[in-house]
């Protein structure tokens, strides 16, 4: 993991990154046009090309849901139920409400909140399974009162969907799960096919192709955001535990080779210990190759003079995940 001084830290897009985005855009636009023209068959053809599987239908069957229940543990189901309860409680408190004021006779001011009819949720599945992403995207939609919720997730090579993803969907009573991933899934949700209805909004994380596809369909359909590869920034001072910092940095690095893991610390000693811990813990990861590629390319420990400089770095990064492992100052 690279150690650098704060004054040497920069966030600039290299010419290679710009060229890669242009290449991705060309591929994505081609996929979107093909799906709009050829519907289901285009999606099935892309499953064969990108997922190395031959599909007869895109929709997960009732039998597949039942089989998935037999492939997960009771502990997993218990964990899913506990997580769902916590997520539901959080978003219940977040709900917006309609309200109206009568300023004077005949003049009303206010806000009317109405649920969307149909939402498409993208669940990544190419490199790992993310049942938690099912919960975190479906539950808010249910609480908002969305009429229909569809899930898209890439099929495995045997043509099935990861059972943990299916069980999570089933626990939330979502029975429209489609075997499709990448830009083709975004296009199918955005414009509809013979068997997939057009949705009002597409949500959920994905790889570069999913992110760029959401960018290109935005306007024809609503999206949550254009999310890039996962990233985390940890601010640590002398009180931080280097082992904990390293574990949290690796928790995002193992998502994707393009993920970014950055620690900003005010201690050169802690910086060196964190770098050592990252190397040590890296050896134990099941997804070693992915995490190592991420750390080698985008892993940094930035040494700042003080917390003010550290926070300037954080504001420059504007990270997806931010953790403060610092001793809190008492104020009076």
- Per-residue exposure over 197-233, b if at least 16 CB sit within 10 Å of its own CB, e if not: eebbbbbbbbbbbbbbbbbbbeeebbbeeebbbbbbb
| Segment holding 109, helix H or strand E | strand 107-111
Give the integer Cα–Cα distance in Å for 211 and 217: 10
- Output phi, psi for 118, to 5 deg: -150, 130
Region for residue 39 given its phi and psi (left: phi exceeds 0; alpha: psi -120 to 50; beta: otherwise): left
Q: Is 176 a catalytic residue?
A: no
Catalytic residue among 64, 148, 276, 320: 320
Query: What are the C-alpha distances in Å from 168 to residues 11, 116, 131, 172?
Result: 37, 22, 6, 7
Catalytic residue among 78, 194, 321, 327: 321
245 closest CA partner among 215, 210, 212, 278: 278
* Residue carrying the six token digits 């599987």: 53
Give the integer Cα–Cα distance in Å for 228 and 258: 9
Give the integer Cα–Cα distance in Å for 13 and 54: 38
Q: Is 321 a catalytic residue?
A: yes
End-to-end CA distance of the chain: 39
Which are the catalytic amino acids?
Answer: 320-321
């Amino acid at each position: 993991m690279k150690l650098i001084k704060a004054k040497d830290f920069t966030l600039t897009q290299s010419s290679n990154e710009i060229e890669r985005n242009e290449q991705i855009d060309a591929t994505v636009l081609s996929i979107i046009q093909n799906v709009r023209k050829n519907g289901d068959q285009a999606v099935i053809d892309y499953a064969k090309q990108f997922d190395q599987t031959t599909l007869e239908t895109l929709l997960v069957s009732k039998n597949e849901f039942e089989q998935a229940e037999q492939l997960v543990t009771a502990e997993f189901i218990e964990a899913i139920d506990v997580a769902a309860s916590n997520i539901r409680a959080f978003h219940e408190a977040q709900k917006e409400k309609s309200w109206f004021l009568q300023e004077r006779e005949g003049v009303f001011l206010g806000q009317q909140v109405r649920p969307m009819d149909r939402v498409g949720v993208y669940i990544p599945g190419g490199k790992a399974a993310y049942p938690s992403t099912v919960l975190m995207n479906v539950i808010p939609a249910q609480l908002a009162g969305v009429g229909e919720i569809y899930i898209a997730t890439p099929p495995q090579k045997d043509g099935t969907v990861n059972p943990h993803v299916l069980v999570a969907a089933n626990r939330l009573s979502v029975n429209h799960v489609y075997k499709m991933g990448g830009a083709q899934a975004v296009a199918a949700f955005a414009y509809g096919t013979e068997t997939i209805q057009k949705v009002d909004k597409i949500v959920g994380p994905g790889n570069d192709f999913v992110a760029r596809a959401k960018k290109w369909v935005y306007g024809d359909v609503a999206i949550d955001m254009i999310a890039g590869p996962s990233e985390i920034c940890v601010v640590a001072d002398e009180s931080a535990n280097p082992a904990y910092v390293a574990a949290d940095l690796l928790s995002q690095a193992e998502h994707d080779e393009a993920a970014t893991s950055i620690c900003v610390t005010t201690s050169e000693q802690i910086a060196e210990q964190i770098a050592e811990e990252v190397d040590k813990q890296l050896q134990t990861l099941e997804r070693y190759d992915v995490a190592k590629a991420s750390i080698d390319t985008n892993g940094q420990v930035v040494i700042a003079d003080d917390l003010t400089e550290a926070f300037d770095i954080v504001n420059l990064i504007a990270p997806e995940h931010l953790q403060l492992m610092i001793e809190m100052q008492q104020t009076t």
